[in-house]
Chain A
Amino acid sequence: MSFDDRKILQDVALRCSLGEIVGLLGRNGSGKSSLLKIIFGSLKPSYRYVSIDDIYIYNGYSNGSIAYLPQHNYLPHGIRISSLARMLVDVEFWDEFTSQPVYQKHNHKTAGELSGGELRMLETLMIVYNRADFILLDEPFTHISPAQTEFFKPVIKACAKRKGIIVTDHQYYNVLDVADRIIILENGCTKPVNGVDDLVTYRYLSGIG
């Protein structure tokens, strides 16, 4: 995939299994979000091959096997949170989802009536409790408070017991906390990260403090 003749993604191979959290790191403009959108199916590159159980997937979302939390807010305004949640949340986990305090407090409101942090929390929860087997989280720790971040880490880890998750965020320490393994996007290629030292080697970090 390229923008203005600059190749963003060219040698990418990413595998995620059920029960696993893969952390995806990379500098600004390295193509992390584009890669997640390509896997999800909302962005079409010149070539892609995405498969689940060795079966080619044309659109990750169209058969409900992949859910994606975009960087921006995605819930439409003017419709109650409870109505929106019913369309996204897996019926199997409905009770668990509705027991979340943020849902109980705001389920009767619309997206436009919530603060940025509250909306982001609900949007993330709706993706984490989605019926899809694979979850793509693009910056789930951004735009929320440190307390909310600490709340989400065990929720994401619990979700990974039954799903495969790919998570990316510039708060790399939070990604390192939740991920089982880390992949870095460097010069359009995916490379495995075996330790924090590798992040310095790949110039993602300037040094280890």
Chain B
Amino acid sequence: MKRTAILTIQYYRILLVYNVTFTIVWIFLALFGFGELNAVVLFWAKISGFISASVLQGYSAKESYFYFRNAGYRMRRIVLQAFLMDIISFVFAYLLISLIIYVIAHFKSR
């Protein structure tokens, strides 16, 4: 379990720059396309960002897959776990930011 978590975090870390960059790009594209930002659009941008980053990683640094395979893991499993980690992080960050915005708005209105 611990090994699986460490390998997933390592893959997530390798992907991080691509992931953040693509997510921002998709947010901007969504903003221009839909004209507004809401939870659904952000969620869609997040998923698209992760998929784009994974595809680019697969093309540009596929050799590193042998590291995970030599650790005894299939790439499909690592990518899926990293995806779940990404979604959970996003939902947590979204809820946290929403809560902070709500609290600030609440105190301003008093």
Interface residues of A (CB under 8 A from B): 40-42, 59, 61-64, 67-68, 70, 72-79, 83-84, 86-88, 126-127, 130-132
Contacts and interface: CB of A to CB of B under 8 A. Distances in A.
Contact of A79 (B10, B63, B74): B10
Nearest to B71: A87
B13 A78 contact: yes
Contacts of A61: 69-70, 72-74
- The dominant DSSP class at the B interface is helix
B10 A64 contact: no
A42 B13 contact: no
A15 to B, nearest CB: 23
Contacts of A70: 63, 66
Interface residues of B, number: 18
Contacts of A130: 70
Contacts of B64: 74-77
B67 A40 contact: no
B106 interface: no
A204 to B, nearest CB: 27
20 contacts: A40-B69, A42-B65, A42-B66, A61-B70, A61-B74, A70-B66, A72-B63, A74-B66, A74-B67, A76-B14, A76-B67, A77-B14, A77-B61, A77-B64, A78-B13, A83-B10, A87-B3, A88-B70, A126-B70, A132-B70
A64 B72 contact: yes
Nearest to A73: B63
A68 B69 contact: yes
A79 B14 CA distance: 8
A42 B69 contact: yes
A159 to B, nearest CB: 15
Contacts of B3: 87
B14 to A, nearest CB: 5
B64 to A, nearest CB: 4
Interface string B3-28: 10011001001100000000000000
Nearest to B17: A78
A63 B72 contact: yes
B94 to A, nearest CB: 27
